[in-house]
Amino acid sequence: MPCRLASGLLADDMDIICPCNYRDADVEEYGCCLCVLYVSDDWISGKKKHDPIEERRPQEYYEKGYPSVMEQKGAGGKEMAQVYRCNVCGYLCAREEPPDLCPICRAKKERFEEFEMKG
């Protein structure tokens, strides 16, 4: 379930399905993600200030959908971004490359494999 405004099309919303693609960078920079569901120890202890978080998702993604959803030349259809699956917990994400750490089970990037979505 995304916490940002979703288009309703899975392919266009793949980057904002929780835990979203922006979580790691926000937790690293601000100590928490945009929705403050994921927080770091420093954020909890108050070492990290509870500053407002700037939206990291580009505005054009809201207008056009996740940009790795590419229009197929000639076919006029859309193709989804590469989906990766964590081999440890099954977490799925659509990104240019898998995350350094799985946001669910903390498995390393090497534990991800390419996953083919059907249908």
Interacting residues toward ligand SF4 by CB under 6 A = 2-3, 16, 18-20, 23, 33-35, 37-38
- 56 touches 34 (CB < 8 A): yes
- Nearest approach in angstroms of CB 20 to ligand SF4 is 3
The residue (of 26 and 69) whose beta carbon lies closer to ligand SF4 is 26
Residue 33 per-residue DSSP state: -
The residue (of 35 and 80) whose beta carbon lies closer to ligand SF4 is 35
The residue (of 16 and 69) whose beta carbon lies closer to ligand SF4 is 16
Distance separating alpha carbons of residues 1 and 15, to the nearest angstrom: 11
Percent composition of the chain: helix, strand, coil (DSSP 3-state, to 5)? 25, 20, 60
